[in-house]
Structure 1
Amino acid sequence: MTAMPLVLMYHSVDKYDSDPLHVTVSPDRFARQMRWLARRGLSGVSMLELTRARNTRGLVGLTFDDGYGDFLSEVVPVLRKYGFTATVFVVTGLIGEHNAWDSGSPRKRLMDAEGLRWAARQGMEIGSHSAGHYSLSGLRDDELHQEVAGSKATLEDLLGRQVNGFCYPYGHVNARELAAVREAGYSYACAIWKSELTGTYALPRTYVGERDGALRLHAKRARHRVRWGW
């Protein structure tokens, strides 16, 4: 990558009544956000495509944390309409279950194995979001290995293809966790915030939520260009 590209961070896209953690974007709002990108000549791409591109200008990374079932029904059809792709990061120990880590929040179903395979056939990248969605910085070394390397092996067995990307739960990453991800054989990893570790194995992302209409998206893009020269 010649410059730090813009990467948008989503979680769930669905209709909702309550969203205390602000992880859900309504389908109508999401469709308008993708239309906003397309009208500006920007292409939404998976993280694998973005990190392999010689020139990232005009490319925007699209990421979806946790692997919610609505990725299949609400996200993929919109992405395909514009010829976009995206990366969905999956909690491998909860495939087909629900977001048990979000205490006090509405239960959301997670994609099952067949849903993940279907998403991959549509051109979407499947990455790991760990095995159990724990903060990695609080784990023993053997537990960290299972969360990072074990989840990679699980996904590769399920998909029958190499898994290249990792996403740190809660964005928590220190030098130990970054080294574990690199040693497990991933080619990149996504964080959330800029830090002294920022780079291929701790890529910062820009949160996108329900309130992000055209003006706010423009401001976030402009801020990224000033900060990173993209």
Structure 2
Amino acid sequence: MYHAVGVRTAAHDPHNLFVPPDTLRRQLGSLLERGWRPLTLTEYLRGDGPRRSVLVTFDDGYQPFLEEGLPVLRELGVPATVFVLSGLLGGRSRWMPEMPDEPLVDADGVRELAAAGLDVECHGWDHPRLPGVDARTLALNVTEAARVLAGLTGRRPLAYAYPYGDHDAAARRAVAEAGFRVAFAVHEGAGRFAVPRVDITSIDTDVTFRLKTWRVYPAMRRLSGRVPAVRSGLHSLIGRAPRP
């Protein structure tokens, strides 16, 4: 799970969302060199990929992805799934007060991503935390968001990514009833409609990136997540990529 591609200072990107293009190229290239096969969403849903297969995803739909990320994917021949916010197309990352002004793809950007062969899927309407929301907010972020996105891509979206990775039983039920075939969380999984993912950030080094491809990493992450200071300390001990 990536978010954005580009170079930002730590002050402008306190959440470490922007991975430099050269880093993305090196990370994906290392997967290919080690025999990993990147999957399209359709291949992932079929479930018949090889043991070393990977679904590469990008959340939020940042505008710089078109100039900074898409060329890397084309160069390496790597398919990817991009989750966009139907209610914020052409808008800004206003859900993050620390960095509210990052531009998001507009309707033409969505069409460009789809025309490039990427799977453009649903990330909700305007990035709220879905657990505990009222029925109207849930419908806006699931059913209406899917309808608007389908109008742009010409097909019904198949996958949903929960904003912040947060979900509860009501959110999972709404996504399933809306006709999605799969939904993605981050670290906390709950079956087909909350599949966990491994987050890649701008502070990942080549070593930490490789560690995150280990089969045991998700279990290690869940255990260390119960004591955040331990996880942060381990990351610092192993190393952090420098930030401008």
8 A contact 1:46–1:63 mirrored in 2: no
> Does 1:220 pair with 2:212?
yes
**Alignment counterpart, residue 150 of structure 1, candidates 144, 147, 152:** 144
Q: TM-score, normalised by structure 2?
A: 0.84
Partner of 1:76: 70
Mind listing any 5+ residue stretches in structure 2 that lack a counterpart? 221-244
**Alignment counterpart, residue 34 of structure 2, candidates 40, 52, 59:** 40
**Alignment counterpart, residue 87 of structure 2, candidates 93, 97, 100:** 93
Mind listing any 5+ residue stretches in structure 1 that lack a counterpart? 1-8
The structure whose Rg is larger is 2
Find the aligned partners of 1:35 and 1:168 in 2 and give their Cα distance.
28
> Does 1:26 pair with 2:20?
yes
- Shift of residue 226, structure 1, vs aligned partner: 8.1
Partner of 1:61: 55
1:116-146 alpha-carbon deviations (Å, 9 max, x no partner) = 1111111100111101111111311122011
Q: What's the secondary structure of 1:137's corresponding residue?
A: coil
Find the aligned partners of 2:144 and 2:109 in 1 and give their Cα distance.
21
Select the structure with the greater relative contact order (CA < 8 A; seq sep ≥ 6). 1
Find the aligned partners of 1:56 and 1:116 in 2 and give their Cα distance.
30
Find the aligned partners of 1:140 and 1:126 in 2 and give their Cα distance.
27
1:174-215 alpha-carbon deviations (Å, 9 max, x no partner) = 1111000000000111101134x2x22111000101232322
C-alpha spacing 1:27/1:10, structure 2 compared with 1 (3 Å): same
Find the aligned partners of 1:36 and 1:127 in 2 and give their Cα distance.
26
1:14-69 alpha-carbon deviations (Å, 9 max, x no partner) = 11123111111111111111111111121223434312231342211111110001
Q: TM-score, normalised by structure 1?
A: 0.89
Q: What's the secondary structure of 2:56's corresponding residue?
A: strand
8 A contact 2:159–2:183 mirrored in 1: yes
Find the aligned partners of 2:29 and 2:112 in 1 and give their Cα distance.
24
Find the aligned partners of 2:64 and 2:48 in 1 and give their Cα distance.
32
Read off the aligned partner of 1:200 and give its amino acid letter. Answer: R
> Does 1:185 pair with 2:201?
no
8 A contact 1:36–1:214 mirrored in 2: no
8 A contact 1:13–1:74 mirrored in 2: yes
C-alpha spacing 1:226/1:98, structure 2 compared with 1 (3 Å): closer
> Where is the strand percentage greater, Structure 1 or Structure 2?
1
Find the aligned partners of 1:63 and 1:203 in 2 and give their Cα distance.
12
Q: What's the secondary structure of 2:211's corresponding residue?
A: helix
Q: Percent identity of the aligned residues?
A: 36
Q: What's the secondary structure of 1:166's corresponding residue?
A: strand
8 A contact 1:68–1:109 mirrored in 2: yes
Find the aligned partners of 1:63 and 1:210 in 2 and give their Cα distance.
15
Partner of 2:192: 200
Provide runs of 4+ in structure 1 moved above 4 Å: 225-228
